[in-house]
Amino acid sequence: TNETGFRGRSRAVYHREVSEAVRRARAMCPDASCVIVGPSDWPERGPGGERRARARTVQVIEVQREVAREHGCGHFDLVALQGGPGSMPRWVRAGLALPDHVHFSDRGHRAIARELERALVPG
């Protein structure tokens, strides 16, 4: 999630960083399966104080998905699970995320865990 707020890092640099992190993890555990869990929706404040989707979120998801494919890992799109960019306020209203619009509540964590399990465990 934090990566969606980094403005000075190019797509190529971020791609290299994520790829290197996966490479190191694979070197330590070569027989392990891997999945990259993408960022959650983390809205920023607009000029009028309204919450809006961060422009970089989609780019971060795309890079993580590319790296996952390149390294034979799965990718779990948390923003898609939430309902797409700009969805965090709905999660807050539903009690699935905290009022800071960054962190999930216990209910939200359980909901994410259930969906991640469905994505990873066949049947």
Q: Are the C-beta atoms of residues 53 and 85 closer than 8 Å to each other?
A: yes
- The chain-wide mean pLDDT, for the chain, equals 93
Pairing of strands 51-52, 44-45: antiparallel
pLDDT of residue 54: 86
pLDDT of residue 7: 74
Q: What does the domain layout of the chain look like in residue ranges?
A: 2-120
- Give per-residue pLDDT as tens, 2-11: 667 667 788 9
Q: Which helix (H) or strand (E) holds 44?
A: strand 44-45
pLDDT of residue 36: 97
**CATH class of the region 2-120:** alpha beta
Task: Say how many CA atoms lie within 13 Å of 58 toward its Cβ.
Answer: 5
Q: What is the pTM of this model?
A: 0.88
